[in-house]
Amino acid sequence: MSVLPFDDRDGVIWSDGKLIPWRDAKVHVLTHGLHYASCVFEGERVYGGEVFKLSAHSERLVKSAELLGFKLPWSVAEIDEATRQTIKANNIVDGYVRPVAWRGSEMMGVSAQQNTIHLAIATWVWPSYYTMEARMKGIRLAMADWRRPAPDTAPTASKAAGLYMICTLSKHKAEQNGYDDALMLDYRGQIAEATGANVFFVINGELHTPKPDCFLDGITRQFVISLAKARQMKVVERAIFPEEMANATEAFLTGTAAEVTPIGEIGPYKFTPGEVCRTLIADFEAAVQPKKQAAE
């Protein structure tokens, strides 16, 4: 299957205040963000021409930059508007948005106090959704070797590019062994998250999910919790150890890309996606795509 490379596409990208041709959106090889990971980003979903929780994502981008010690020269409102401009210019109805901010190339070394701060926003069409039947089969996760770091060893509340290095390593190994993704533990040996999504378990009819004290409290995660509570489901945020997965009947991931994705297997543990998964998938889709749901 051929894949259209991301550096050679038609369209425009918002870059430092203006829309430029897609192929012209480039940075120098000696950019600090490339060498020292002084880079933060967001992943956002477009439904019917509107970004899901746009301001929440823009706010997190600003906060992520602050946690890495730099300030974006654009406000949340300005980032929101730039995102809308980019979506409109590329005629995106259902798609993905990737804002990314980084330190430039004025200084090359660990210290980069004088470097210019850059921001770019790209958007592209998102592939078709899985059918409910296909999604309810559940994906397979391996157990990752790498662990999420402690909050006093890395800026774990930031969506920082450098924190995803171990996610790539973990996902690559899982895929090489025939799995879809990997479940990561944290520095204490407790369940943390998948490589790019939060995780939930149904235990004794309740939703249990790890407390996000060393990984991102996902925006989709927060929304799905609100959907569950609206259904009078009890949601428990707590420390969860791997062996407790033996008590779970259902499990699923949440995230911008994952939305609500049922899990059929994590290492030696098996789950049967059922009513909770089906209900939350339906509620999520109804919330983010009301026009589509009404048409159907």
What positions carry a catalytic annotation? 159
Spell out the long-range contacts of 56-62 with Cβ–Cβ below 8 A and sequence spacing 24 or more.
56/219, 57/99, 57/219, 58/83, 58/99, 60/159, 60/219, 61/99, 61/101, 61/159
- Whole-angstrom Cα distance, residue 12 to residue 29? 22
Q: How far is CA 125 from CA 43, 83, 91, 131, 180, in A?
A: 13, 14, 9, 18, 22
DSSP string across 230-277: HTT--EEEE---GGGGGGEEEEEEEETTTEEEEEEEETTEE----HHH
